[in-house]
């Protein structure tokens, strides 16, 4: 029987994955791109580019070569079941809208799920040279200069909170939008357009609350170990497991999380 890889070995491999995908994706940023619209849901325009597809192909190829018995779930190329419980959950470019506009608020998301939950998560921004990794109850920001442990910040009430969502209307139903606006109206400041980058900023203590809807598993699984490893919480709007996506709320402080749930739980 083959021994299971250690979490440290898996984390080293996740760094290799991020390095490899970054080499593929980086040259496409702020370059001329063919953009395909795959939108069918409430968000309307849902762009995908060659950078998305080729980035995921690169990740899949390396996973299959290194851990051929592991499963893979990716946004662009679907699900391949594995022979072991481990599944790599991939989003080569989370924030494709920002990517095609030349804005840096996007990232490559790489998660490893052990069959019950995501145990390892990486958010890589290959243009800015920032990489966040979370596992084993810790989270770090990795740059070429140094590796730094990161923590969320205390925030006890909405009046002190910075709140964000990717878009105030596109991904929300009307009741969801109303709930977000209730929270935003009570907050100190509201920002839009962060995609996955907003969760990294929450984990670093710059944002207090991220509220999203209509997420997929590949949108959120890598972010869970990062946010939780930094001391935050990330759940569904009713306080349950968020790994399947849907309505998701991330908070840097349990107190602000509880206040947000009081509002979000009322949405049918």
Which domains does the chain show, CATH number per domain? 7-149 (3.30.540.10), 158-264 (3.40.190.80)
H-helix or E-strand spanning residue 94: strand 87-94
Burial status of residue 142 (CB atoms within 10 A of its CB: 0-12, 13-18, 19 or more) = middle
What is the distance between the alpha carbons of residues 239 and 230, in angstroms, rounded to a whole number? 19
Higher pLDDT, 99 or 77: 99
Over residues 206-225, the pLDDT tens digits come to 999 999 999 999 999 999 99
User: Going by C-beta distance under 8 Å and a sequence separation of 6 or more, which residues neighbour residue 173?
Assistant: 42, 213
Q: Model confidence over 227-250: pLDDT tens digits?
A: 999 999 999 999 999 999 999 999
**pLDDT (tens digit, 9 = 90+) per residue, 88-97?**
999 999 999 9
Per-residue pLDDT band for 176 (boundaries 50, 70, 90) equals very high
CB 99 within 8 A of CB 106: yes
Q: Do 206 and 246 form a contact (C-beta atoms < 8 A)?
A: no
Question: Tell me: the pLDDT tens digits for 197-207?
Answer: 999 999 999 99
Distance between CA atoms of 120 and 221, rounded to whole angstroms? 9
Looking at every residue in the chain, the average pLDDT score rounds to 95
For residue 46, pLDDT beyond 90:
no
Q: Name 113's bridge partners.
A: 87, 118
What angle, rounded to 10 degrees, do the helices at 7-25 and 50-66 form? 150
Instruction: Give percent above pLDDT 70 in the chain.
Output: 96
Give the C-alpha separation, 264 to 183, whole Å. Answer: 9
- Measure the CA–CA gap between 57 and 259, rounded to whole angstroms: 41
Choose between 36 and 13: higher pLDDT: 13
Look-up: residue for tokens 């739980």?
A: 265
> For residue 2, is pLDDT > 70?
no
How wide is the angle at C-alpha 241 spanned by C-alphas 237 and 242, nearest 5°? 65
At 188, phi and psi to the nearest 5? -70, -40
- Does the pLDDT at position 168 exceed 90? no
Please work out, in degrees rounded to the nearest 5, the angle formed at the alpha carbon of residue 19 by the alpha carbons of 193 and 34. Answer: 55
Averaged pLDDT, 17-29? 97
Q: In this predicted structure, what is the pLDDT of residue 204?
A: 99
**Tokens at 175, concatenated:** 């009741």
- Where residue 106 falls among pLDDT bands split at 50, 70, 90? very high
Question: Cβ atoms within 10 A of the Cβ of 202, count?
Answer: 28
Residue 127 CB neighbour total at 10 angstroms: 15
pLDDT class of 39 with cuts at 50, 70, 90: low
pTM: 0.94
Q: Tokens for 123, please give them.
A: 């958010």
For residue 138, pLDDT over 70 is answered with yes
Q: State the helix-helix crossing angle for 254-264 and 174-186, rounded to 10 degrees.
A: 140
């Amino acid at each position: 029987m083959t021994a299971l890889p250690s979490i440290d070995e898996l984390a080293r491999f996740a760094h290799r994955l991020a390095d490899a995908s970054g080499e593929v994706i980086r040259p496409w940023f702020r370059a001329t791109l063919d953009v395909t619209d795959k939108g069918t849901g409430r968000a309307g325009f849902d762009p995908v580019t060659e950078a998305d597809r080729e980035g995921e192909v690169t990740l899949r190829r390396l996973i299959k070569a290194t851990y051929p018995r592991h499963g893979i779930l990716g946004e662009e190329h679907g699900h391949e079941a594995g022979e072991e419980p481990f599944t790599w959950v991939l989003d080569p470019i989370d924030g494709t809208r920002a990517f095609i506009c030349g804005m840096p608020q996007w990232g490559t998301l790489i998660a490893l799920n052990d069959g019950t939950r995501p145990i390892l998560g990486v958010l890589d921004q290959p243009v800015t040279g920032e990489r966040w990794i979370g596992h084993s109850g810790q989270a770090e920001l990795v740059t070429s200069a140094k590796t730094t442990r990161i923590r969320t910040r205390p925030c006890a009430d909405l009046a002190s909170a910075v709140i964000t969502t990717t878009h105030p209307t596109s991904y929300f139903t009307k009741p969801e939008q109303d709930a977000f606006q209730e929270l935003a109206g009570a907050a100190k400041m509201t920002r839009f357009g962060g995609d996955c980058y907003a969760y990294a900023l929450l984990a670093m203590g710059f944002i207090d609350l991220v509220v999203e809807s209509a997420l997929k598993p590949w949108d959120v699984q890598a972010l869970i170990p990062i946010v939780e490893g930094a001391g935050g919480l990330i759940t569904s709007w009713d306080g349950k497991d968020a790994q399947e996506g849907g309505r998701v709320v991330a908070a840097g402080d349990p107190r602000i999380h509880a206040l947000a749930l009081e509002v979000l739980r009322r949405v049918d």
